[in-house]
Amino acid sequence: MEQKLAQLKTMLGEASDLYQIEALLGWDQQVNMAPGSAESRAQQMATLGAIAHDKATSPEIGKLLEALLPWAESLDPDSDDARLIKVTAKDYDKATRVPSSFVAEASQVIAMANQAWVKARSESDFSIFQPHLEKVLDLKKRYIAFFPPADHPYDTLLDDFEPGMKTADVKAIFDALRPQQVELIKAISEKPQVDDSFMHLDYDEQKQWDFGVKVATAFGYDWNRGRQDKSPHPFTTNFGIDDVRITTRVYKNQFATALFGTMHETGHALYELGVGKQWARTPLANGTSLAIHESQSRMWENLVGRSMPFWEHFYPELQATFPEQLGKVSLETFYKGINKVQPSLIRVEADEATYNLHIMLRLELEIALIEGAVAVKDLPEFWNAKVKDYLGLTPPNDAQGVLQDIHWSGGMVGYFSTYALGNLVSVQLWEKFKSVNPGIDDQMRKGDFSSLLSWLRSEIHQYGRKYEPQELVQRVTGSKIDPAPYVRYLKGKYSAVYGL
């Protein structure tokens, strides 16, 4: 069996290489490629995607799994080999249900949709993106049909991003969370608003970039195995466990965008860079789910990056970098400013108290699109109505409304709920970490984040996809995904900021 396992790993490695080359083409499309090259790139990605799919679903892999699965049952269920075979078998079952011709078609549609979204967003014109999104939604409905009927059609899409999670589970978590967040936001709205006007002055873009690089370095990002570039929407991608790249975007008069975007993507990258070497070129060489991934990015962005101890260390340097803008702004004023709670239009710039509401409205719209209750052509109207209902705002244009996120252009329908779930997990993990390392605040005041990174490496990162998300959270914290710690965190933090 050892020989068959070695054969399996060789074949999985070849498929992994192809998928990572396809990802490299996608990164280049976002970072470097000229808009006029979209059609050629779409064809390249379609061809490569089909070849990778054929490799990953080859009958030879099926035969090896058929031989190895009974053997795996005899192993310790927590052993690396048993878990690798189990996860690979699940991936293989899902992948073999999808024809290579469909994979090629989807790659081409998504590549074109992405370029259309970039243009539509820049011109704030949903009609440019509409026909492409209609094709993406058609693909998703056809994809669902390849699988056995689920409790809800959306379950099939959700499982691709959050294995084991059901639509009903997410709705139950959100139903418990929503009224508590609404109550908190209402209490805050009755207090005097904090001043964040200094965040919207003109900040030199290169200096913003350089400061973000310093923070990413302090967090532990390995520039020998990664890089940062600019893109229309920040993202993290990897082409192997030793090549993990991040992007950000920089606005002259929106200081928070680049800095906190870099922190967020660094959190994702640290996860991927920490995956155990034994998982290289296997299906386990990634984060176990998008919620766990988001728990890492949101932890570094918010629990660390928006904390007072973090800025007790970094604020003097930031003031020295931008003396004209921040020289007369006290640390306390700055801290309150970066933690201001105010309903806003843009998800990635939303404060922690309102962020999950952005996710909830997107989840509702995605489910409605899959159910056929909302047509793509009517999406801007429904989007604006949801924003008004949830946040009390009306987007002035499509760019600040329905076109703000890249996800649908990339075919990532079923993704959004993982952001809110990740927020919840981030605090569960943070509470556990602080219980074993109560000195973290003092460490952050010294600019030392090594104990946090080391703990995350040990408890989360090294395992890759070895454990399913709920199983991993249970192993580390003692409970499954639970909104209660997050609510405690928000109430504690904003009681101090707003004097509740």
Cβ(187)–Cβ(493) below 8 Å: no
In this prediction, residue 500 has a pLDDT band, given cuts at 50, 70 and 90, of confident
- Strands 236-238 and 228-230, by their bridges, are unpaired
Report domain extents, the chain.
Answer: 2-129, 167-498
Q: What is the pLDDT of residue 38?
A: 86
Q: Give this prediction's pTM.
A: 0.91
**HSE on the CB side for 189, CA within 13 Å?**
12
Element (H, E) at 166: none
- The Cα-based distances of 348 to 125, 158, 219, 324, 393 in angstroms read 20, 21, 21, 27, 16
Closest CA to 194 of 44, 37, 353: 353
Candidate list 22, 162, 265, 468, residue with the active-site label = 265
Q: What is the pLDDT of residue 348?
A: 84
Q: What is the pLDDT of residue 171?
A: 93
Q: Is the pLDDT of residue 379 over 90?
A: yes
Give, in words, the CATH class of 167-498.
mainly alpha
- Could you confirm whether 349 is annotated as catalytic? no
In this prediction, residue 263 has a pLDDT band, given cuts at 50, 70 and 90, of very high
| 221-259 tens-digit pLDDT | 999 999 999 998 899 999 999 999 999 999 999 989 999
The single residue listed with the structure tokens 């009517």 is 378
Distance (Å, whole) CA 227 – CA 247? 8
| 3 state SS for 104-140 | HHHHHHHHHHHHHHHHHHHHCCHHHHHHHHHHHHHHH
201-207 long-range Cβ contacts below 8 angstroms, 24+ apart: 201/253, 201/255, 201/324, 201/325, 202/252, 202/253, 202/325, 203/252, 203/253, 203/255, 203/322, 203/325, 204/252, 204/322, 205/250, 205/252, 205/258, 207/321, 207/322
Q: Is the pLDDT of residue 349 over 90?
A: no
| 15-40 tens-digit pLDDT | 999 999 999 999 999 999 998 998 89
